[in-house]
């Protein structure tokens, strides 16, 4: 089929593009390159079934033009960082909610009826039930990011009812792996490259989160689309384990061979809208025969390995990167 | 306190304004008069504690200017008709979601921190649980209207978390009473005024809905604000009974003294996004000491009485309006 991928030059988007091409599909990639990078698509760019369009999801007429003849839309373009909602309160509304409306409208006018959407476990806010199932009690939003994704989900499901769309909505935990570009692992990595002797941590370090490796994430998406066939198909996507921020710091420091003094900002939440605990009930996606292949620890390790490869030799402790690369490659 | 009411010239807004003035508050009314009417504010317009501003909630700078010095915002301005979402897919997004973001941003920059919001039972989509409680399982949207109000609720609760707002969110059933301006009662009334011998009904007539009289609605809102004091206070607002469309038709025809041939379009839903059954669990709002005073039947009857008074003598069956007025006034 002819797939249209928004946010195709981003972390998850670029992995999806590669898998879609490998599965024999035609791929039109759409990205404004504001946070994505063409280098993420190095493995796809010269493929005969691949086409790249520089374009913004806020540009409805361009979206319409590029989407013509498409069978399936993977809508991944988004402001993906939950932390800065209160500093830029319009960003999530525009880039996540209004952008999703644009994608849906372009689809409607182009006659495209199938969509997969990258939602987030953040839309559960601070739930009372762990692991949190897709059908948990009506959640209350605690971040502008979560609110913007909730709004996007609402639009998508309303388009399913109103215009005969079929949707696959994936509520992700944080995703790790090669080309990973934001989140706590990269923040800690960057801090430790700059000053290997100290690390500043938002919150008390006890926030517990679930993570998933990007390849496992893409396999789940493609499997769900192949197997599930309701009008609206909603899946949590995560692993059945959690790790706390301090665990993760231990693995990162081990890989980098550094022993920094750790300073916590304190509090159960790292920032406004941060969740002290994220653990999704993934029994629904597991029931169709998917399971993750990498543990969280291994996902963190592979992510650090990627960051080290990408950055090349640098500071950390003298010679630490080379050692770390050797360790990480084991 | 100094109250700012968006949609103040509308059906519910104008009743709220009167009650706020009667309770001794200062009221700034904000309305673009697109569907509201200044005549709805006849009882308020010359009051010394009342000020009217013609303005659009999509005009953020004007909102900011008019909101200066306000203590509490009642945000009622909205596209309130659930039926036409698929014909004008951008309308709900703009007038309900983006408009609510504007109201929140104006509040934030003006230092206003308390908001009451008119949400809707439509955000439950087609729930599995009846009566439907506020904490029912994560709902799926079936209308662009519901999706836009869900998005607005998400924004409001995220502003509570992010910016220290306090919110009162009311999920209404359909409201009836004087100045009522859209919905099935007025549709049937207009049809019967034009041709008293026949009535066209969307759906099979068995859709069951709950309704609430406008005075009961306003009393509930003001009581909740007085008594509830959480950061986020969400209340269903309806009655504990339902009536089906055909019941309602019977009461309307009785009041108008007409006996039309009734033609149903058929189907469980009157239009795309219509709910075959709406019945909200209102035990939460009842637990703070509120209960409705009028039955649905009486609410329909009073609404017809208002419509008859407003329209004056006209067609229906010859002389029927005069008779109907006499009947309705009983």
Q: How far apart are CA B97 and CA B58, in angstroms?
A: 10
pLDDT score for B275? 84
Q: Do A144 and B158 touch (CB under 8 A)?
A: yes
pLDDT band at A273 (very low <50, low <70, confident <90, very high): confident
Output the CATH code of domain A184-209+241-278+293-329.
Answer: 3.90.25.10
Query: pLDDT 10s per residue in chain B (330 long)?
Result: 999 999 999 999 999 999 999 999 999 999 999 999 999 999 999 999 999 999 999 999 999 999 999 999 999 999 987 777 678 899 999 999 999 999 999 999 999 999 999 999 999 999 999 999 999 999 999 999 999 999 999 999 999 999 999 999 999 999 999 998 888 899 999 999 999 999 999 999 998 989 999 999 999 999 999 999 999 999 999 999 999 999 999 999 999 999 999 999 998 888 777 888 999 999 999 999 999 999 999 999 999 999 999 887 554 443 444 444 444 443
The angle formed by the CA atoms of residues B305, B307 and B309, to the nearest 5 degrees, is: 70
Residue B133 DSSP label? P
Nearest-by-CA chain A residue for B140? A157
pLDDT score for B75? 98
Q: What SS3 class is residue A170?
A: strand
Q: How far apart are CA A97 and CA A105, in angstroms?
A: 12
* Chain A touched by B103 (CB under 8 Å): no
Contacts of B187 (CB under 8 A, 6+ apart): none
Tell me phi and psi for residue B239, to 5 degrees: -110, 170
Between the alpha carbon of residue A76 and those of residues A275, A311, B307, the distances in Å are 22, 26, 50
Residue of A147, A149, A143, A172 whose CA lies nearest to A83: A143
Nearest-by-CA chain B residue for A272? B162
B151 vs A105, A150, A159: nearest CB: A150
| Pairing verdict, β A243-244 and A208-209 | antiparallel
Q: How far apart are CA A113 and CA A72, in angstroms?
A: 7
Residues 52-71 of B with CB under 8 A from A: none
pLDDT score for A329? 41
CATH tag for B184-209+241-276+293-329 (out of 3.30.70.1450, 3.90.25.10, 1.20.1250.20, 3.30.470.20):
3.90.25.10
The answer to whether B5 and B27 are in contact (CB under 8 A) is yes
Give B146's contacts in chain A (Cβ within 8 Å).
Answer: 154, 158
Is cis: bond before B236, omega within 30 of 0?
A: no
Q: What is the 3-state secondary structure (H, E, C) of A265-330?
A: CCCCCCCCCCCCECCECCHHHHCCCCCCCCCHHHHHHHHHHHHHHHHCCCCCCCCHHHHHHHHHHC
Residue of B233, B240, B234, B239 whose CA lies nearest to B217: B239
Tell me phi and psi for residue B222, to 5 degrees: -70, -35
Residue A133 DSSP label? P
Q: Do B154 and A162 touch (CB under 8 A)?
A: no
For chain A, domain boundaries = 2-176+211-237, 184-209+241-278+293-329
Q: Do A273 and B89 touch (CB under 8 A)?
A: no
Q: What is the pLDDT of residues A297-310, one digit of tens each?
A: 999 999 999 999 98
- Domain A2-176+211-237 matching CATH 3.40.50.2300: the answer reads no
The C-alpha R_g of chain A, in whole angstroms, comes to 20
Q: How far apart are CA A6 and CA A55, in angstroms?
A: 9
pLDDT score for B326? 46
Nearest-by-CA chain B residue for A160? B142
Nearest-by-CA chain B residue for A88? B105
pLDDT band at A313 (very low <50, low <70, confident <90, very high): low
pLDDT score for A310? 86
- Give the DSSP per-residue string, B61-108: HHHHHHHTT-SEEEE--S---GGGTTTSHHHHIIIIIIHHHHHHHHHH
Q: Give B129 to chain A, closest Cα distance, Å.
A: 12
Element (H, E) at B13: helix B11-22
Q: What is the pLDDT of residues A135-163, one digit of tens each?
A: 999 999 999 999 999 999 999 999 999 99
More confident residue, A290 or A82: A290
Q: Give B87 to chain A, closest Cα distance, Å.
A: 10
Q: What is the pLDDT of residues A37-58, one digit of tens each?
A: 999 999 999 999 999 999 999 9
Q: How far apart are CA B330 and CA A64, in angstroms?
A: 59
Nearest-by-CA chain A residue for B98? A93
Task: Count other Cβ atoms within 10 Å, centred on residue A241.
Answer: 13
Residue of A94, A106, A97 whose CA lies nearest to B150: A97
Q: Model-level pTM? A: 0.93
- Give the DSSP per-residue string, B122-171: GGG-S-SSSSBPTT-B-----SHHHHHHHHHHHHHHHHHHHH--EEEEEE
Q: Do B151 and A146 touch (CB under 8 A)?
A: no
Q: How far apart are CA B293 and CA B223, in angstroms?
A: 14
Q: Do A105 and B90 touch (CB under 8 A)?
A: yes
Tell me phi and psi for residue B29, to 5 degrees: -100, 135
Report the number of secondary-structure helices (H) and strands (E) in chain A.
11, 13
Give B101's contacts in chain A (Cβ within 8 Å).
Answer: 89-90, 93
Give B154's contacts in chain A (Cβ within 8 Å).
Answer: 141, 146-148, 150-151
Q: How far apart are CA B200 and CA B202, in angstroms?
A: 7
Residue of A46, A18, A101 whose CA lies nearest to B93: A101
pLDDT score for A34? 95
pLDDT score for B69? 96
Q: What is the 3-state secondary structure (H, E, C) of B208-257?
A: EECEEEHHHHHHHHHHHHHHCCCCEEEEEECCCCCEEHHHHHHHHHHHHC
Is cis: bond before A37, omega within 30 of 0?
A: no
pLDDT score for B121? 95
Q: How far apart are CA A263 and CA A288, in angstroms?
A: 43
Q: Is the pLDDT of residue A328 over 50?
A: no
Residue of A171, A147, A126, A86 whose CA lies nearest to B153: A147
Q: Is the pLDDT of residue A61 over 80?
A: yes
Chain A interface mutation, best of B88, B97, B140, B149, highest count of A Cβ atoms under 10 Å: B140
The answer to whether B40 and B11 are in contact (CB under 8 A) is yes
Q: How far apart are CA A50 and CA A85, in angstroms?
A: 34
Q: Is the pLDDT of residue A133 over 70?
A: yes
Between the alpha carbon of residue B28 and those of residues B14, B214, B224, the distances in Å are 12, 21, 21
Residue of A90, A171, A75 whose CA lies nearest to A123: A171
Q: What count of CB pairs under 8 Å joins A to B?
A: 126
Q: What is the pLDDT of residues A208-242, one digit of tens each?
A: 989 999 999 999 999 999 999 999 999 999 999 99
* Chain A touched by B164 (CB under 8 Å): no
- ipTM (interface pTM): 0.92
Q: Do A136 and B138 touch (CB under 8 A)?
A: yes
* Chain A touched by B280 (CB under 8 Å): no
Element (H, E) at A158: helix A144-163
Give A232's contacts in chain B (Cβ within 8 Å).
Answer: 140
Tally the C-alpha atoms within 13 A of residue B31's C-alpha that lie toward its C-beta: 25
Instruction: Give, to the nearest 10 degrees, the angle between helix A99-110 and helix A144-163.
Output: 20
Task: Count other Cβ atoms within 10 Å, centred on residue B266.
Answer: 10
Q: Do B142 and A158 touch (CB under 8 A)?
A: yes
Q: How far apart are CA B256 and CA B277, in angstroms?
A: 27
* Chain A touched by B147 (CB under 8 Å): yes
pLDDT score for B313? 57
Lookup: tokens for A72: 């399936």
| Pairing verdict, β A166-172 and B114-120 | unpaired
| Pairing verdict, β A2-6 and A72-75 | parallel
Residue A203 DSSP label? S
């Amino acid at each position: 089929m002819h797939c249209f991928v928004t946010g195709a030059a981003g972390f998850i988007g670029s992995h999806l593009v590669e898998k879609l091409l490998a599965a024999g599909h035609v791929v039109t990639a759409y990205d404004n390159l504001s946070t994505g990078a063409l280098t993420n698509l190095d493995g796809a760019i010269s493929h005969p079934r691949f086409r790249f369009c520089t374009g913004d999801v806020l540009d409805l007429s361009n979206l319409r033009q590029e989407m013509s003849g498409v069978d399936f839309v993977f809508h991944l373009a988004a402001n993906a960082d939950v932390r800065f909602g209160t500093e830029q309160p319009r960003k999530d509304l525009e880039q996540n909610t209004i952008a999703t409306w644009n994608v849906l409208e372009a689809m409607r006018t182009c006659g495209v009826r199938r969509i997969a959407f990258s939602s987030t476990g953040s839309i559960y806010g601070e739930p009372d039930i762990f692991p949190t199932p897709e059908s948990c009690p009506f959640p209350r939003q605690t971040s502008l990011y979560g609110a913007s994704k909730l709004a996007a989900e609402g639009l998508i499901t309303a388009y399913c009812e109103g215009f005969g769309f079929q949707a696959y909505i994936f509520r992700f935990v944080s995703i790790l792996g090669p080309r990973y570009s934001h989140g706590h692992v990269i923040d800690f990595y960057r801090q430790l490259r700059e000053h290997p002797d100290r690390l500043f941590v938002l919150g008390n370090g006890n926030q517990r989160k679930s993570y998933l490796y990007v390849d496992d994430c893409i396999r789940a998406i493609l499997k769900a689309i192949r197997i599930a066939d309701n009008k609206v198909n909603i899946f949590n996507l995560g692993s059945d384990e959690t790790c706390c921020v301090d665990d993760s710091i231990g693995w990162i420091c081990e890989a980098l061979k550094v022993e920094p003094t750790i300073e916590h900002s304190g509090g159960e939440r790292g920032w406004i809208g941060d969740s002290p605990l994220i653990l999704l009930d993934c029994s629904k996606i597991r029931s169709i025969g998917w399971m993750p292949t990498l543990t969280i620890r291994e996902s963190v390790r592979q992510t650090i390995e990627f960051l080290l490869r990408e950055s090349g030799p640098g500071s950390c402790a003298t010679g630490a990167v080379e050692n770390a690369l050797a360790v990480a490659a084991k």
